[in-house]
Amino acid sequence: MDVLDIANLNKSYGKKTVLNNIKFSCQTGEIIGIFGRNGSGKSTLFKIIFGVTKADSIQLKINSNILPQKEVIASKKIGYLPQDSFLPKELKVRDVIPLFFSSEEQQDKVFYAPQVYSFDNVRVGELSLGQLRYLELLIFGNLNHPFILLDEPFSMIEPLYKEVIKEFLQEIKKTKGIILTDHYYNDVLGVTNRNFVLKDATLISINNKKDLEKFNYLTSNL
């Protein structure tokens, strides 16, 4: 089991404090959900953990070994899947997969994943939102990072692909620690082991939908 520890994470822009003394951990074998309204700092939090946005202060450790923020990307210990697609739109799916995996065994994990056969001859730019997000997750989840950050994995996609994504996340969490954020709270609560809400620059542990209402992420009539 690997453990990612995040502590003393602070970030301000001018006089506005975005993240204040954030502290939590994630271990392989679990999925953590982080909720927050637009502008609450969720994407900033992910970008800091991944190392592309500089924190005012942060302490990252993996298995008690300090990982300097500037070394996160090169370490290949933490992966980050942002909302925006990273795949070349002009290529067919079958031509994209080998760009990321050198061995046939690795490629086959994506080629023969559920539903991929139905769109493997389609250009990336012509995929539906669900197909595209699923393909990105398949590629990303089969890389070797022990920890991955997922920004909006369920947003605006078809129910069929939500279900296969959920099944895939449950499969890869056997060897990875996953931290995700998404406004589709029922989908998040359906796959996570622990959850937090980011409110007023602080991270608060929550247990269920009622807690999301308590901390004003949801209104009580939803």
pLDDT in tens, 131-160: 999 999 999 999 999 999 999 999 989 999
**128 located within any domain:** yes
Q: How confident is the model at residue 220 (pLDDT cuts 50, 70, 90)?
A: low
CATH number at residue 108: 3.40.50.300
Domain that holds residue 73: 3-214
In a domain, 222, yes or no: no
Burial class (CB in 10 A: 0-12, 13-18, 19+), 15: exposed
The number of domains in the chain is: 1
Q: Indicate the SS3 state at residue 8.
A: strand
- Asked if 47 contacts 80 with a C-beta cutoff of 8 angstroms, the reply is yes
Q: Is 220 inside a domain boundary?
A: no
CB 28 within 8 A of CB 175: yes
Assigned token pair, 132: 């595209």
**Separation of first and last alpha carbons in the chain:** 38
* CB-based contact 153:190 (threshold 8 Å): no
Contact assessment for residue 32 and residue 189, using Cβ atoms and an 8 Å cutoff: no
Position 163 in a domain = yes
Going by the DSSP 8-state scheme, the letter that residue 157 receives in this structure is: -
Please give the order of strands across the beta sheet that includes 147-151. Answer: 78-81, 147-151, 177-181, 31-35, 194-199, 202-206
pLDDT by residue (tens digit) across 75-114? 999 999 998 888 999 999 999 999 999 999 999 999 999 9
Q: Which pLDDT does position 219 carry in this prediction?
A: 78
Residue 189 in any domain: the answer is: yes
The reply to whether 156 falls in a domain is yes
Q: What is the pLDDT of residue 221?
A: 55
Overall average pLDDT of the 173-192 stretch? 96
Residue 199 has pLDDT above 80, yes or no: yes
Distance CA 131, CA 115 (A): 9
Let me know if residue 20 belongs to a domain: yes
The proportion of the chain whose per-residue pLDDT surpasses 90, expressed as a percent, equals: 93
Q: E-assigned strands of 125-176?
A: 147-151
